[in-house]
């Protein structure tokens, strides 16, 4: 009896010990509704009675850094649970990324109440790039549902893109309203970018900030059927529109962040990225284009495969890839005919670029095979010569037609053909025709540049324009009117900032410019209107200039004739400082003198006139600190 009681007591004791152990629940690779950064991934969440542990992985470029704010917290049922500690990095301290660019760490939070099915992880800091994740699913048995897109949009009767409408040349004012569905107040991506590039808008970039209902509207002149990109820091999508279309685009940010996730891309259910509704011939096509799609034309091993090839071998290899991809598209029964034709045109445009960039691609292959960076200019490599015999495959590609406007590489695929084959006679012989869209495009070369630089057309340009469709003349007349109106408006603001270039030799030019600011600290920004990083750096630094108001600091901006004069005037109107636009010879001398290898580049001149190239100051914060220290 005593022995039995001891056994019972022992089992009771063990039971009490087991009951006192923390009950643990593990969720591996939890799904989420949306997140703010593609670099941060959650691999595991452990829930028990003593703590909530989040296992996180960060991937960034090697040499970068990561930091987790000490105020990071879990939001569950309206209650905040702040981080208690971390392992793998110290909260609030920068962590230098290893050579791999990978970092794993753990965050410990207080235990959560029972019944919590989803949580948000929020960094307390409000600056861009905060590591916020919304709707982490703690109940893997329940599938995450897409709730961002309004049901009256997603549930429409969407028709299949059975045909591809013919591309058109016409003028019209296009309107695109973008709705960021599922946007949260702490999200990045307040600014939406629109990039359109048609016949007379070579790389036009527009930017709008979303309003209180998380939408923004773009209006722009369009001159042909074309594609356009919509993007912000969280998504990127492409749609096709005609001039004069009036559409609304509903973007699912939850789906956008799923597609960008390394861990959830293939785990969570896929949804359509965006829905395009409104007045357009391309509603069905744009609906289909928002599905995830993997191009069969893989470039994964391209440079490895072409290394060491001669010109004949290279062209044969490229055309082999082309024929295989066209055959794959033809045999893909899941593709509606309209989508298939659209993708075929995209392949043609891409292959045009490959055909006409053989020398540079073969050099890239050589550099990659021998681990030679582009900072080493002189290498033991000579590209094979490509002749019209090789470019003759353009006739097989059948690209001398108007529907090449659909190609994602238009107009760049046409531009490179015109660059590599700079003779109209040669191009006509290669294509076997004296008419067609590519022939017309060749005849239009340089006209837009002349208008942007406010110069009259040459005799040859006028002759070429008169020999093709009258539409082009009407379109250029409208473009010129718009440029003239914009220049007149810009000059009012810009003229007081533009300085006359001293009449001295190239060798004395920089000193002559700096003599105007003797005894002051001068920041010289070497930039161009077409340079994205230049524009971004200028916009970032512009608000910081207020700190130097009424102090002996001068901001000098130097560009060259590659910046179209009309665009330069437009931008100068919004950039406080002293502005100079040099000719190519003047620009090249200054760049060679200081050893400039790219833009933006900065030259800092102290009060004594000593000038040094300071590209280590690329970054508005460092630039501000340097200038402050010189006062």
User: Positive or negative, the Cα torsion across 481, 485, 491, 493?
Assistant: negative
What lies within 8 Å, CB to CB, of 57 at 6+ separation is 40, 41, 42, 43, 102, 103, 104, 263
How many folded domains does the chain comprise? 4
Q: How many CB atoms lie within 10 A of CB 398?
A: 12
Q: Are residues 217 and 168 in the same domain?
A: yes
How many Å apart are CA 289 and CA 274, to the nearest integer? 9
Q: Are residues 435 and 318 in the same domain?
A: yes
| 451 within a domain of the structure (yes/no) | no
Q: How many CB atoms lie within 10 A of CB 115?
A: 8
CB 563 within 8 A of CB 572: no
pLDDT in tens, 35-74: 998 889 999 999 999 999 999 999 887 777 788 889 999 9
CA distances from 40 to 36, 54, 422, 451, 591 (A): 9, 12, 48, 47, 40
How many Å apart are CA 529 and CA 483, to the nearest integer? 16
Q: Are residues 317 and 267 in the same domain?
A: no
User: Positive or negative, the Cα torsion across 419, 348, 256, 56?
Assistant: negative
DSSP single-letter state for residue 616: G
Collapsing DSSP to helix, strand or coil, 233 comes out as coil
pLDDT of residue 443: 96
Q: Are residues 324 and 405 in the same domain?
A: yes
Q: Are residues 387 and 428 in the same domain?
A: yes
| 461 within a domain of the structure (yes/no) | no
Name the packing angle between helices 459-466 and 470-494 (round to 10°).
140
CB 34 within 8 A of CB 135: yes
Domain boundary (418, 445, 472) is at: 445
Q: Are residues 333 and 439 in the same domain?
A: yes
Pick from 260, 32, 21, 40: which is nearest to 139 by CA?
Answer: 32
| HSE-up of residue 387 (Cα within 13 Å, Cβ side) | 3
Q: Are residues 258 and 322 in the same domain?
A: no
Q: Are residues 285 and 306 in the same domain?
A: no
Query: Whole-model pTM?
Result: 0.85
pLDDT of residue 377: 83
How many Å apart are CA 158 and CA 226, to the nearest integer? 22
Beta bridge partners of 46: 26, 53
Helix, strand, coil share (%) of the chain residues, nearest 5 = 35, 25, 40
pLDDT of residue 291: 83
Q: Are residues 159 and 215 in the same domain?
A: yes
Place of tokens 């007045």: 279
Q: Are residues 261 and 205 in the same domain?
A: yes
| HSE-up of residue 98 (Cα within 13 Å, Cβ side) | 7
| 587 within a domain of the structure (yes/no) | yes
| 247 within a domain of the structure (yes/no) | yes
| CATH code where residue 620 lies | 3.40.30.10
**What H or E segment, with its residue span, contains residue 442?**
helix 437-443
Q: Are residues 69 and 163 in the same domain?
A: no
E strands of 199-271, at which residues? 204-209, 215-224, 226-231, 236-241, 246-252
Collapsing DSSP to helix, strand or coil, 223 comes out as strand
pLDDT of residue 311: 97
| 500 within a domain of the structure (yes/no) | no
Enter the tokens of residue 62.
Answer: 């090697």
Place of tokens 């001891």: 6
Q: Is the bond preceding residue 411 a cis peptide, omega within 30 degrees? A: yes
pLDDT < 50 regions, the chain: 1, 14, 17-19
Collapsing DSSP to helix, strand or coil, 343 comes out as helix
Domain that holds residue 369: 302-445
Enter the tokens of residue 237.
Answer: 């999508």
Domain boundary (392, 421, 445) is at: 445
How many Å apart are CA 164 and CA 477, to the nearest integer? 30
Q: Are residues 519 and 573 in the same domain?
A: yes
pLDDT of residue 620: 53
| CATH code where residue 234 lies | 2.60.40
CB 48 within 8 A of CB 111: yes
Q: Find the distance separating the first CA and the last CA of the chain, reported in whole Å.
A: 94
How many Å apart are CA 137 and CA 119, to the nearest integer? 7
CB 340 within 8 A of CB 368: no
> What number of residues does the chain have?
631
pLDDT of residue 529: 93
Collapsing DSSP to helix, strand or coil, 584 comes out as helix
How many Å apart are CA 40 and CA 261, to the nearest integer? 9
| 312 within a domain of the structure (yes/no) | yes
pLDDT of residue 430: 97
How many Å apart are CA 414 and CA 409, to the nearest integer? 8
| 498 within a domain of the structure (yes/no) | no
| 186 within a domain of the structure (yes/no) | yes
CB 558 within 8 A of CB 522: no
Q: For the chain, count helices (H), then strands (E).
A: 21, 25
How many Å apart are CA 598 and CA 239, to the nearest integer? 33
273 burial class (0-12, 13-18, 19+ CB within 10 angstroms)?
A: buried
How many Å apart are CA 307 and CA 298, to the nearest integer? 16
CA distances from 388 to 312, 318, 425, 426 (A): 12, 16, 12, 8
Domain boundary (137, 162, 191) is at: 137
Place of tokens 């058109």: 168
């Amino acid at each position: 009896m005593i022995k039995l009681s001891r056994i019972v007591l022992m089992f009771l004791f063990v039971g009490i010990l087991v009951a006192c152990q923390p009950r643990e629940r593990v969720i591996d690779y939890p799904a989420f509704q949306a997140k703010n950064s593609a670099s941060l991934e959650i691999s595991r969440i452990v829930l028990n009675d003593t703590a909530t542990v989040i296992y996180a992985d960060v991937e960034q470029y090697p040499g970068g850094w990561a930091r987790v704010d000490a105020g990071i917290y879990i939001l569950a049922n309206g209650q905040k649970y702040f981080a208690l500690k971390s392992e793998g990095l110290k909260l609030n301290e920068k962590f230098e990324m290893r050579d791999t660019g990978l970092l794993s760490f753990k965050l410990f939070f207080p235990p959560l109440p029972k019944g919590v099915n989803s949580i948000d992880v929020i960094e307390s800091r409000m600056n861009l790039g905060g590591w916020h994740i919304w709707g982490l699913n703690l109940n893997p048995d329940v599938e995450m549902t897409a709730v961002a897109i309004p049901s009256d949009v997603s549930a429409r009767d969407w028709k299949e893109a059975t045909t591809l409408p013919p591309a058109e040349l016409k003028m019209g004012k296009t309107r695109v309203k973008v709705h960021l569905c599922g946007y949260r107040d702490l999200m990045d991506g307040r600014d939406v970018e629109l990039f359109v590039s048609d016949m007379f808008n070579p790389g036009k970039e527009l930017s709008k900030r979303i309003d209180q209902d998380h939408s923004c509207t773009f209006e722009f002149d369009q001159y042909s059927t074309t594609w356009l990109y919509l993007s912000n820091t969280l998504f990127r999508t492409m749609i096709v529109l005609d001039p004069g279309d009036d559409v609304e685009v509903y973007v699912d940010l939850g789906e956008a962040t799923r597609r960008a996730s390394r861990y959830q891309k293939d785990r969570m259910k896929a949804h359509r990225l965006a829905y395009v509704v409104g007045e357009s011939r391309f509603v069905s096509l744009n609906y289909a284009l928002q599905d995830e799609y993997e191009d069969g034309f893989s470039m994964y091993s391209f440079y490895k495969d072409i290394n060491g090839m001669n010109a004949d071998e290279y062209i044969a290899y490229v055309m082999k890839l082309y024929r295989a991809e066209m055959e794959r598209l033809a045999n893909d029964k899941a593709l509606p005919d309209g989508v298939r034709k659209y993708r075929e045109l995209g392949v043609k445009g891409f292959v045009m670029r490959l055909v006409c960039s053989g020398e540079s691609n073969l050099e890239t292959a050589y550099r990659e095979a021998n681990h030679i960076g582009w900072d080493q200019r002189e290498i033991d490599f000579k590209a094979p010569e490509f002749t019209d015999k090789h470019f003759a495959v353009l006739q097989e590609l059948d690209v001398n037609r108007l529907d090449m406007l659909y190609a994602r590489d238009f107009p760049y695929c046409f531009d490179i053909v015109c660059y590599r084959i700079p003779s109209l006679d040669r191009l006509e012989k290669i294509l076997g025709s004296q008419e067609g869209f590519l022939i017309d495009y060749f005849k239009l070369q340089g006209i837009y540049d002349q208008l942007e630089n406010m110069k009259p057309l040459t005799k040859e340009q006028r002759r070429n324009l008169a020999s093709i469709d009258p539409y082009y003349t009407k379109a250029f007349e409208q473009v010129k009117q718009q440029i003239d109106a914009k220049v007149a408006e810009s000059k009012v603001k810009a003229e007081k900032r533009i300085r006359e270039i001293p009449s001295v030799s190239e060798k004395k030019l920089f000193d002559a410019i700096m003599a105007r600011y003797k005894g002051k600290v001068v920041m010289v920004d070497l930039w161009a209107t077409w340079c994205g990083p230049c524009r971004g750096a200028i916009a970032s630094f512009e608000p910081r200039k207020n700190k130097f108001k009424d102090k002996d600091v001068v901001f000098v901006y130097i560009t060259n004739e590659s910046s179209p004069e009309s665009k330069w005037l437009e931008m100068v109107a919004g950039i406080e400082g002293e502005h100079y636009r040099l000719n190519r010879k003047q620009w090249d001398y200054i760049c060679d003198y200081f050893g400039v290898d790219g833009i933006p580049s900065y030259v800092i001149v102290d009060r004594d006139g000593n000038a040094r190239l300071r590209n280590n100051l690329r970054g508005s914060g460092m630039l501000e600190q340097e200038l402050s220290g010189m006062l």
